[in-house]
């Protein structure tokens, strides 16, 4: 004799409510993160704090993860882009008030900003897709 696993309507309602709550909490956290995009270019000395080694299937050791920090950092350029369209670019200046960033460093910063904006755009598309699908599901 085969027993059927039946879920009562009350249990199903509880499961869906919990699922909805988890989705809402996840979206809420994501939405808080997407209101501002910051790209910071710094200079400094890299220090390795922790190296985690693992073995592959052949027993060869490899570095799986390494945690690093930048010490003695100095902000070279910082771009803040807000969802409402505001853009703030912060650059260091010398004692005379002149911008003191090398052209190559600024080009690198601009590339990073473009990459970050594209990633942000794709992230927003993903969030919108999830919201749309959720709304369709809840109809």
- Domain boundaries, given as residue ranges, for the chain: 24-43+77-138
87 and 80 Cβ atoms separated by less than 8 Å: yes
- What is the per-residue pLDDT across 18-77, written as a single tens digit (0 to 9) for each? 887 887 777 777 676 778 899 999 888 777 667 778 888 888 887 777 777 777 678 899
Q: In what order do the strands lie in the sheet with 36-55?
A: 36-55, 61-82, 87-90
Distance CA 120, CA 103 (A): 25
Residue whose pair of structure tokens reads 């956290």 in the numeric block: 29
Highest mean pLDDT among 57-61, 94-98, 114-118, 122-126: 114-118
Phi-psi domain of 44 (left: phi exceeds 0; alpha: psi -120 through 50; beta: other): left
Cβ atoms 90, 105 nearer than 8 A: no
pTM for the full model?
Answer: 0.59
Q: Is the model more confident about 71 or about 79?
A: 79
Question: Would the pLDDT of 1 be above 60?
Answer: no
Phi, psi of 34 (to 5 degrees): -90, 0
Pairing verdict, β 87-90 and 61-82: antiparallel
CA angle 54/47/104 to nearest 5° reads 110
Cα end-to-end span (Å), the chain: 38
């Amino acid at each position: 004799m085969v027993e059927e696993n039946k879920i009562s309507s009350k249990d199903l309602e509880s499961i869906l409510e919990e699922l909805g709550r988890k989705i809402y909490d996840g979206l809420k956290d994501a939405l808080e993160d997407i209101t501002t995009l910051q790209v910071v270019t710094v200079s400094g000395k890299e220090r390795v704090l922790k190296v985690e080694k693992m073995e592959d299937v052949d027993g060869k050791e490899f570095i799986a993860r390494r945690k690093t920090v930048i010490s003695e950092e100095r902000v070279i350029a910082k771009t803040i882009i807000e969802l409402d369209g505001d853009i703030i670019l912060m650059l260091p200046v010398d004692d005379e008030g002149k911008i003191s960033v090398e052209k190559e460093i600024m080009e690198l910063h601009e590339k990073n900003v473009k990459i970050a904006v594209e990633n942000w755009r794709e992230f927003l598309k993903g969030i919108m897709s999830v919201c749309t699908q959720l709304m369709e599901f809840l109809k």
